[in-house]
Structure 1
Amino acid sequence: MPFNQESQATFTIELADESAQVAFGQRLGQACNGEGLIFLQGTLGMGKTTLTRGILQAYGHKGAVKSPTYTLVEPYQLDTAQIYHFDLYRLADPEELEYIGIRDYFSSPALSVIEWPDKGTGILPESDMELTLTKKDDGRQALLVANTQRGAAILSKLRTMD
């Protein structure tokens, strides 16, 4: 059954500081259960990569997480999930995604997090969820919007987590 856009689910949370962003990323990662496509929106410096660090930590990643600005994608093969972290900031043309075999990344179960998804318009598939980070006082506000049934299920899990 296709997702009813009129019943589109949203979730908003205020994140006081960097540690709150990482902690929320961990919750989001757990709620995704290793699958999905999340578009991360926000201006430079809003903490998209910081949030992604938390998502990766939810699956046991212990190392550093840097934005793959020049390589476009950083794969993480973890014990319980395959996660792809994309950063399309420097992409000059969406067609460049075809050269890296973008469709292959979405052909098997994985969790993909894409920063600057607007740079891939017309090539990227529809996201399960869009997460937009904006400045709020000294911290950030995260607005999550579900675009699919999977996205709505993720938001539903987030609401029930402590």
Structure 2
Amino acid sequence: MHTIELQLSDAEATDALGAALARARPAREAEALHVHLHGDLGAGKSTLARALLRALGVEGAIRSPTYTLVERYPLAEGGEAWHLDLYRIGDAGELEFLGLDGGEAVLWLIEWPERGRGWLPAPDLRVELAVEGEGRAAELHAVSAAGQAWLAALGAATAGYAFAADS
């Protein structure tokens, strides 16, 4: 299974997908997992990231990194999740000054990754979100072996759930 397509009827369905992604996330290996979140403004990228982080046990405020560019959240299992929003950067070279080279990140959630092309790690999972009627359409693409394992676990976890998965 390399792709999962989902119809998300409302914000609660987006939250449910974030929680399902957290539950299906592969065990941490030597490398961090990288998720590239694509979609227009208002497509649900931050909503999905927030739901995933909450399901991973992040407590307190989960802020959108729209103006700070990066927010870091400690995880109960150890390490940090980094949530990046690159919408406001003018040049990918600006990423050099964000201190993103530390090894403490075990999960990267990157909104507008195309703006950091050439400076970002390759994705394990690429998520494309689009407004569709009152809800959202989501396409999840595995890009690496870790991404394939993640989607396989997600497909098993979401079978018969509130949204339908297609391979």
Shared fold (TM-score greater than 0.5)? yes
Q: Distance in 2 between matches of 1:148 and 1:19?
A: 28
Query: Which deviates more from structure 2 when the two are superposed, residues 113-122 or residues 74-83?
Result: 74-83
Q: Distance in 1 between matches of 2:120 and 2:58?
A: 26
Q: Does 1:158 align with 2:154?
A: yes
Give matches, 1:1-150, under 5 Å. Answer: 9-33=2-26, 35-81=32-78, 82-104=80-102, 107-108=103-104, 110-150=106-146
Q: Distance in 2 between matches of 1:65 and 1:109?
A: 16
* Structure 1 residue runs without a partner (length 5+): 1-7
Q: Distance in 2 between matches of 1:109 and 1:49?
A: 18
* Residues 49 and 65, structure 1, Cα contact 8 Å, conserved in 2: no
Aligned residues between the structures: 153
* Structure 2 residue runs without a partner (length 5+): 159-167
Query: What displacement does 1:109 show?
Result: 5.5
Query: What displacement does 1:92 show?
Result: 0.7
1:72-98 superposed Cα distances (whole Å, 9 cap, x missing partner):
110010212521111111011101101
The amino acid that maps onto 1:58 is A
Change in Cα spacing, 1:65 to 1:109, as seen in structure 2 (3 Å) is closer
Supply the RMSD in Å over aligned alpha carbons: 1.6
Query: What displacement does 1:40 show?
Result: 0.3
1:34-69 superposed Cα distances (whole Å, 9 cap, x missing partner):
651000000001111110111012112243322111
Query: What displacement does 1:32 show?
Result: 1.6
